[in-house]
Chains A and B, each alone.
Chain A
Amino acid sequence: MSHVLAVLEQRDGALRKVSYEVVTGARRLADALGGSVDALILASGAVKGTEQVGRYGADKVITLTNPAFALYAPEGYARTVAERITSGSYGAVVFAASATGKDLAPRVAARLGRPLAQDVVDLAVENGAVTVIRPVYAGKALLKLKVTGTPALLSVRPNVFTPVERPKAGSQESAAAAGPAGRVVVKVIKAAEAGTLDVAEAPIIVSGGRGLKEPANFKVLEELAAAFAGRAAVGASRAVVDAGWRPHADQVGQTGKTVSPTLYVAVGISGAIQHLAGMRTSKVIVAINKDKDAPIFKVADYGIVGDLFEVVPKLTEEIKKLHG
């Protein structure tokens, strides 16, 4: 019971980046348990990127295909994954804590009658049992849990488990997944504007608050984000989302998204406790604010006190220089 199943994600027939993070987390558990990693992909046909999965520590890559699995099919996916887990005698199963993974994992857990630890930021094996750490109260505290019994089911927070190269065979296997897609049908994905990244997954976030003064001024942040050449998303504080300046999907904080980017640039955000909770696990935080006493400076690694309408365009210019 020491093998680990990594449940990967594809979209449009290509593996999503978070899949490599899932494999990385699974590999860590498998090494501690002394077992191998099976990576599972549900799709309607061959998936691009599966040959890379072995590099990050998968011993075997299993693609299960069903004509109805091109898009996420909640019930069909849950049944197929649960059946695979039951037939494989796994000690642990790792999902992505993405929009899809957070929907899929509870369905699988309920089918198996097993507990689920969502959105974990660290994992280990202690005395033979899987232990995890997951943020609660929007990151104002960390909860360490021990999973009793097997398999241990968990989902890993995007951007936390940096993919580590751990080359394994990565042998490929493919089979048809029989059965209906289910009653709940994803008809279509309305894609966001080309090139826009989601704040939950972006490696760099440029976030704005009330200091921007009016919605049109977010243009200065969009220009800064664009200077990072496709690696940055624009986020927002609750105040500006509640005011209708920015979409809900962009909100960072306790009633928005909890994010862990490599770089978080807080612009004109004072730093309410519920906002800090949502971004304090960022690797590096930069604050730009005209009020030198703003609480945001207490969590920021680097701060600039000044008028954001002067500082941000200058920053955009300097970042553009870096990217030639």
Chain B
Amino acid sequence: MKIAVCIKRVPDSETRVKIAADGKSLDEAGVKFILNPYDEFAVEEALRRKEKAGAGEVVVIALGPAAAQETIRTALAMGADRGILLQADRIPTDGLEVAKALAAELKGAGFDLILFGKMAIDDYNHQVGPMVAALLDLPCVTTVAHLEIEGMKGVAEREIEGGVEVVEFPLPAVLTTDKGLNEPRYPALKGIMAAKKKPLEVKTVSLGSGGLDILALTPPPERKEGKIVGEGPAAVPELVRLLREEAKVL
């Protein structure tokens, strides 16, 4: 089974966001970058599918700056076979531009599965996977939390409000992965050593500017100072009164 996993380098979820001097971007000074957590589920799923099939290849593809090579090495250390960096120094916020560049790389490469995390925890765009599928005219299921594949047919489960959709699809297909699909493995020392020797191809791409112009990146409005109503159960009646009469939410 030949599987592509599209991954992204993102700031760690514990990052304190500081806005850069341009007022439109993140100040990256001192920020720790990681493999997007939702992409870990995609990498893990690809490795398990290949292991189950007993043959195949897992190729990780990242679009990003030169530093995203580190992110690819993380996926290689988990067990992926080779990596491709589509190097672009400026990534537009318009996800369709990213999807176009990835689709051009994936087109005609003969992948049985193309996996993405359901979204990146930096831009929250939640769109590149299904856009790539539409551009390549491949079947696609998003936010997959359970997956079964038999031959060239798959059944996926995805969470919707108040339930779970059971979805059938043919392969080759594009899937985006949600938390709950699997437990991603930690790269072992042996894997980390091996990853250094695995092939990583760097290709320069230039992306269009897209149709979304950033006007401003701002901190969210500060919540006004709250109050401690009191201590213990004795404070509850006053809390309920405040919720009714002051906040008017009950």
The residue that B249 contacts in the complex, of A71, A185, A284, with Cβ under 8 A, is: A284
Instruction: Give the contacting residue for B16; candidates A72, A139, A273, A313; CB below 8 A.
Output: A273
Residues of chain B within 8 A (CB-CB) of A188 are: 165-166
9 closest cross-chain pairs (CB), A and B: A110-B134, A106-B127, A115-B211, A314-B233, A306-B232, A99-B160, A248-B180, A198-B161, A110-B131
Q: Does A103 contact B (CB under 8 A)?
A: yes
Q: Which residues on the B side are within 8 Å of A303 (C-beta)? A: 226-229
CA distance A144 to B99 in the complex (A): 22
Q: Name the residue of chain B whose CB is nearest to the CB of A274.
A: B13
Do B99 and A110 have beta carbons less than 8 Å apart?
Answer: yes
Given contacts A110-B99, A140-B220, A187-B167, contact A131 B127 (CB under 8 A): no
Nearest A residue (CB) for B36 = A255
Query: Does B140 touch A at the CB level, under 8 Å?
Result: yes
Q: Main secondary structure on chain B at its contact with chain A?
A: mixed
CB contact under 8 A between A302 and B227, given known A118-B127, A184-B139: yes
Most buried by B among A110, A114, A144, A248: A110
Q: Which of A276-292 touch B at CB < 8 Å?
A: 280-281, 283-286, 292
A111 interface residue per 8 A CB criterion: yes
Q: Using an 8 Å CB-CB cutoff, how does the interface string of B94-130 with A read, 1 for contact, 0 for none?
A: 1110010000000000000000000001111111111
Which B residues are CB-close (under 8 A) to A192?
162-164
Question: What's the least CB distance linking B177 to chain A, in Å?
Answer: 12
Find B162's partner among A115, A198, A306 (CB 8 Å cutoff).
A198
Q: Tell me whether B179 is interfacial, beta carbon within 8 Å.
A: yes
Is the pair B139, A141 in contact by a Cβ cutoff of 8 Å?
no
A173 CB within 8 Å of chain B: no
The segment from A23-31, A145-153, A160-168, A213-221 that touches chain B is: A145-153
Select one of A137, A148, A300, A318 contacting B237, CB under 8 A.
A318
Task: Report A-chain residues with C-beta under 8 Å of the C-beta of B139.
Answer: 75, 182-184
User: In the assembled complex, which residues on chain B have CB atoms less than 8 Å from the CB atom of A106?
Assistant: 95, 126-131, 134
Query: Which stretch of B67-75, B196-204, B240-248 is in the interface?
Result: B240-248
B148 interfacial contact with A, CB 8 Å: no
A314–B128 Cα gap in the complex (Å)?
Answer: 47
* B4 nearest CB across to chain A (Å): 18
Q: Does A196 contact B (CB under 8 A)?
A: yes
Contact B227 A137 (CB under 8 A): no
A281→B220 CA distance, assembly (Å): 9
Contact check, B135 vs A110: say whether CB atoms are below 8 A apart: yes
A258-B126 Cα distance, complex, nearest whole Å: 13
| A186 on interface, CB distance cutoff 8 Å | yes
Say whether B233 contacts A301, CB under 8 Å.
Answer: no
Given known pairs A119-B126, A137-B121, the reply for A304 and B160 (CB within 8 Å) is: no
Interface size class of A (residues with CB under 8 A): 35 or more
Report how far A180 CA is from B167 CA in the complex, Å. 16
**How many B residues touch A, CB cutoff 8 Å?**
85
Interface string of A256-269 (1 = CB under 8 A from B): 10100011000000
Q: Is B217 within 8 A of A274, CB to CB?
A: no
For A187, the chain B residues whose CB sits under 8 A away are 166-168
Shortest CB-to-CB span from B218 to chain A, Å, is 5
Contact of A99 among B143, B166, B228, B231 (CB under 8 A): B143
Taking CB atoms, residues of chain A closer than 8 Å to B163 are: 189-192
Question: Are B164 and A189 in contact, CB atoms less than 8 angstroms apart?
Answer: yes
The residue of chain A having its C-beta at the shortest distance from the C-beta of B180 within the complex is A248
- Check B170 for interface membership: any CB of A closer than 8 A: yes
Asked if A139 and B220 sit within 8 Å, CB to CB, the answer is yes
Q: How far is the CA of A113 from the CA of B134 in the complex (A)?
A: 10
With both chains docked as a complex, state the minimum distance between the C-beta of A301 and any C-beta of chain B, in angstroms: 4
Chain A's nearest CB lies how many Å from the CB of B14?
A: 6
Interface mask (A174-218 → B, CB under 8 Å = 1, otherwise 0)? 000000001111111111100011101100000000000000000
Contact A184 B140 (CB under 8 A): yes
- In the complex, the answer to whether B125 meets A118 with C-beta atoms within 8 Å is yes
Give the nearest-CB partner of B99 in chain A. A110
| B211–A149 touching, CB < 8 Å | yes
Among residues of A, the one whose C-beta sits closest to the C-beta of B134 is: A110
Kindly list chain B residues whose C-beta atoms are within 8 Å of the C-beta of A98: 160-161
Contacts of A147 in B (CB 8 A): 211-212
Nearest A residue to B160 by beta-carbon distance? A99
Contact A256 B17 (CB under 8 A): no
Closest-CB distance, B133 to chain A (whole angstroms): 7
**Out of A103, A143, A304, A322, which one reaches B93, CB within 8 Å?**
A143
Pull 7 A–B residue pairs with CB atoms less than 8 Å apart, ordered by A.
A107-B131, A114-B96, A116-B96, A139-B220, A258-B124, A304-B232, A311-B232
**Please, how many angstroms separate the alpha-carbon atoms of A117 and B249 in the complex?**
30
A191 touches B179 (CB 8 A): no
Tell me, in angstroms, the Cα distance from A302 to B243 when the chains sit together.
Answer: 9
| CA distance in complex: A301, B122 (Å) | 27
Known: A107-B134, A118-B124, A200-B161. A141 touches B19 (CB 8 A): yes
Chain B neighbourhood of A135, CB < 8 A:
124, 220
